[in-house]
Amino acid sequence: MVKKRISIKGEKIHDVGYRLLLMNLAADLGIENFNAKNVKKDGKEAVEVLIDASGENVSKFFDLVNEEENQPEHAKVDSVDIGDYDGWVGTLDSFRSGFMAFQQQKFAVAGVGLLNVQEGMLTEMKGLKNEMHEFRKESGEKQDQMLDKQDSTIDKIDDMHHDLAGRFDTLRGDYGVIYKTIVEMLDEMRKERKESNERTEKLVKAILQSKKG
C-alpha cells in the first residue's frame, strides 16, 4: 500500500464541487482510504487529498486528477502536485458520511438564510403594499378634493353666468325705457318744431300781406 498527498491549487478551487468529484474518482478506482479538505496555500485556494491504496491505483488516480476534463466546470487550477505522506488516512466510507453530513448542514444553513431573505422580501413587499395603499388613499382624497374644487368652480361660473344674464336683462330693460323716452322726446321735439314752423310761416305771410296793403 502507498500513501500519498496530492495538492490541487488555483484561483478558484473551493465551492465548485471539487471534493465530491475527487471522492467519486476514488470510489470508481476502488480506493478504500481517502480524505480531502479545503485549505489555503500561498494565499490561494487548494484541496489537499490523502490516499492510501495500491501503487497502481495511486498512479491512476493522480493521472485522472491531472486531466483537465476531470476538473469541475468553474474551477481554475494552477497546479497539481503529489508527494509522500506517512500519516493516518481514514476510510472512503467515513469521508463520504462526514462529507454528506457537512453538505446537508450547508444546505440547511443556506435554506434558513434563504427563508430569512424571503421573509425580509415579504416584509418589504408588505411595506410597499401598505405604502401603495396609503398612496392610493391619499391620491383618491386629493382627486376628490380636486373634483370638489372643480365642481365649486363650475357652480361659481354658473352663478356668475346667471348673474350677468340677469344684469344684461335688467340693463336691456333700462335701455328699453331710455330708448322709449328718447323717442318720445324726439317726437315731442318734432311736433314742437312743426308747430314752430307753422307759426313762423303764418307770421311771414302776415308780414307780407301787411306790406302789400
Provide, rounded to the nearest whole percent, the portion of the chain with pLDDT above 90. Answer: 41
Q: Which of 87, 107, 80 is nearest to 25 (CA)?
A: 80
For 142, the 3-state DSSP assignment is: helix
- Res. 183 pLDDT band, cuts 50 70 90: low
pLDDT category at 90 given cuts 50, 70, 90 is: very high
CATH number for the domain formed by residue range(s) 2-90 = 3.30.70.100
Global pTM reads 0.53
Helix axes 18-29, 92-212, angle to 10 degrees: 150
23-46 per-position pLDDT tens digit: 999 999 999 999 999 999 988 999
Residue pair 92/20 in contact (Cβ under 8 Å)? The answer is: no
> What single DSSP character describes residue 30?
T
Long-range pairs, 61-69, Cβ under 8 A, ≥24: 61/6, 61/25, 61/26, 61/29, 61/31, 62/4, 62/6, 64/25, 64/29, 65/6, 65/8, 65/22, 65/25
Residue 143 grid cell: 382627486
- Considering only CA atoms, which of 106, 79, 97, 104 is closest in space to residue 34? 97
**For range 172-191, the mean pLDDT:** 64
- Average confidence (pLDDT) over 206-213: 69
Say what the pLDDT of residue 165 is: 63
